[in-house]
């Protein structure tokens, strides 16, 4: 429920279970951010209040999470989850209505101060791209901007791979 519909209450329960309190968990979040070299500061465990993080740091955090816990993609790629007799849809619509080939997650967030945000990841031809969109004006915009960033990243990789395939004498 944390990764699929962004259930803030579940974040608090998890934080309390892992660290004894939300405050102790947030301290660990900030320590982890510092250890990873992120430009980030967390105030709570769920993001319903403003945090500060750069887009570059958000992408680095997702990359680190995937590298350390690759099984997270089994969850972030789910289009929905059922719990307590209720089915919750994934708020990352690149998996469904804004379908993006190769997308396997990652996470959305929306609060007034930050706007509509989406950190997405997709794999094509053995390459993973992570896109970060922050402060979009609406749900449609964050998904369309994410698609455009992913398209751009894969286009750059295709050009690089094509250039790398030429013999040195042709460069």
pLDDT in tens, 118-156: 999 999 999 999 999 999 999 999 999 999 999 999 999
- The residues, any chain, with a CB within 8 Å of residue 103's CB and separated by 6 or more, are 77, 92, 94, 95, 120, 121, 122, 150
Say if residue 12's pLDDT is above 80. Answer: yes
* Long-range CB contacts for residues 152-160, cutoff 8 Å, separation at least 24: 153/129, 154/122, 154/124, 154/127, 154/129, 157/125, 157/127, 157/129, 158/125
CB–CB of 62/121 below 8 Å? Answer: yes
Q: Where are the alpha helices (DSSP H) in 2-135?
A: 8-19, 22-35, 55-68, 72-76
Say if residue 6's pLDDT is above 60. Answer: yes
- 110: phi then psi, degrees, rounded to nearest 5: -145, 120
Residue 77's pLDDT is: 96
Residue 169's pLDDT is: 59
Say if residue 165's pLDDT is above 70. Answer: yes
Residue 46's pLDDT is: 87
At 16, the pLDDT band (50, 70, 90 cuts) reads very high
């Amino acid at each position: 429920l944390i990764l699929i519909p962004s259930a803030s209450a579940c974040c608090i329960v998890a934080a309390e279970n892992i660290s004894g309190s939300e405050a102790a968990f947030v301290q660990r979040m900030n320590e982890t951010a510092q250890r990873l070299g992120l430009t980030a500061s967390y105030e709570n465990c769920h993001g319903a209040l403003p945090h500060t993080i750069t887009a570059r740091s958000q992408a680095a955090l997702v990359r680190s999470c995937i590298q350390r816990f690759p099984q997270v993609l089994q969850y972030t790629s789910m289009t929905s989850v059922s719990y307590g007799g209720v089915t919750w849809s994934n708020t990352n619509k690149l998996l469904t209505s804004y379908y993006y080939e190769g997308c396997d997650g990652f996470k959305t967030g929306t609060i007034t101060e930050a706007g509509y945000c989406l950190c997405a990841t997709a794999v094509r031809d053995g390459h993973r791209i992570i896109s970060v969109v922050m402060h979009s004006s609406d749900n449609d915009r964050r998904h369309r901007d994410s698609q455009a960033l992913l398209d751009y990243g894969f286009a750059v990789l295709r050009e690089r791979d094509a250039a790398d395939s030429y013999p040195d004498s042709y460069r």
